[in-house]
Amino acid sequence: MRTAADFNSFYESPDPWRISQARFRDKVLRHCLTPFIRDRSVLELGCGEGHLTEAVFGKARSVVGVDISDVAIARAKSLDLPNVRFECADFLRMSFAGYDVIAAIECIHYLSLQERGLFLEKVATEHSGKMLLLSGPIVDYIRQFGHKRLMHEFASLGFTPVKFHNLSVDRYPPSSRIIASLLKLPLGYTLLDGLPERIIYQRLYALQAPKYH
């Protein structure tokens, strides 16, 4: 796992990953996430500078955004978003209790395999029976973040997959770029879930944590 110092170095300049420029991604995420977060309390892990908090989680009743970088959190707080609180914390060491939904969007692929296992065990224990929304690239991280591996991990810990959505296509080979362009036409994003896995870059998983009595 990268450290707070690592992420603070990334955030020396605002928006280091150009997240604010990915409007198509924002539209797809809003479409996929809104049914799960509407009028619910959300813990957003790895919130960064708060772009997705503002662009995607607006229908939530409340949001607590957490990031390990105090530089990113300072910028997120400056957005002054209603019904949102930002905190600087290592999410592997904080409590997950008390939220309707936990969202880890484009962040847990920074964890090692061991850390990811600990993260999922923590969700299962502290977020019993509730929703986990998790996304990441399944191409660049195919050995550690591939669909089959993830499904095995989810099943071994008792998570129930409720739904998964494709979020974007890989831009290599060049033929995928044509598909990516077509998806940006009006309502083109609705075709994403019908595309073959071999060209998918990012995927969202909606999971129900196991219920402990």
Mean pLDDT in runs of 10 for the chain (213 residues)?
A: 87 92 92 97 97 96 97 97 97 95 92 90 96 88 74 93 93 80 88 90 95 73
| Neighbouring residues of 158: CB distance < 8 A, sequence distance ≥ 6 | 124, 209, 210
Q: Total structural domains in the chain?
A: 1
Per the domain annotation, does 25 fall within a domain? Answer: yes
Per the domain annotation, does 138 fall within a domain? Answer: yes
**CATH number of the domain residue 104 falls in:** 3.40.50.150
The answer to whether residues 48 and 72 touch, using CB atoms and an 8 Å cutoff, is yes
Per the domain annotation, does 180 fall within a domain? Answer: no
Per the domain annotation, does 173 fall within a domain? Answer: no
pLDDT at position 137 is: 85
Please name which of 138, 144, 95 lies closest in space to residue 116, comparing C-alpha atoms.
144
Please name which of 90, 93, 31 lies closest in space to residue 58, comparing C-alpha atoms.
31
Per the domain annotation, does 127 fall within a domain? Answer: yes
**Bridge partners of 44?**
65, 103
pLDDT at position 157 is: 94
Per the domain annotation, does 182 fall within a domain? Answer: no
Per the domain annotation, does 213 fall within a domain? Answer: no
pLDDT at position 198 is: 85
Structural domain containing residue 85: 4-10+20-168+202-208
Per the domain annotation, does 185 fall within a domain? Answer: no
